[in-house]
Amino acid sequence: MEKHTDSDTGNDVPRTPEGIVAMFINGDGRVVATANDFNPGYPGGFSQQDAQKIRARRALAGELMRALSSPLLAAAMAGAESEPDREWYEAQINALTTEMEQK
């Protein structure tokens, strides 16, 4: 297995992708939605891991909305092309993400 030197610790570590995998599991232990982020990019002021957590949470909120809504609503959300629809969709994701962070 190929290894590289970790920039934080200086140790040789296996070359594996670094990312975040998020899962929403209901009370019965069933996985309702999953999302992940392996994008290495991050904005100034955030660590790569923090940026990946934020993006994965937002993606999980969207997947959860699609999983728990009716097929017609999910199709409408996926096809939101106009700016008012996109703004509504983003507001729903932000509200759900905030609720998830509080729990």
Domain boundaries in the chain? 21-102
- Judge whether 92 and 65 are in contact, CB under 8 Å: yes
Banded pLDDT at 25 (limits 50, 70, 90): very high
Taking the whole predicted model, whether its pTM rises above 0.85 is answered as no
Q: Phi/psi at 39 (nearest 5 deg)?
A: -65, 125
Q: Which of 48, 43, 59, 70 is nearest to 96 (CA)?
A: 59
Phi and psi torsions of 46, nearest 5°: -125, 145
Q: Does residue 32 sit in helix, strand or coil?
A: strand
Q: What would the pLDDT profile of 53-82 be if each residue is shown by its tens digit? A: 999 999 999 898 888 887 777 666 666 555
d(CA 59, CA 7): 28
Quote the CA–CA distance of 35 and 85 in Å, as a whole number: 22
Residue 24's CB is within 10 A of a number of other CB atoms, namely 17
Q: What is the pLDDT of residues 41-52, one digit of tens each?
A: 888 888 888 999
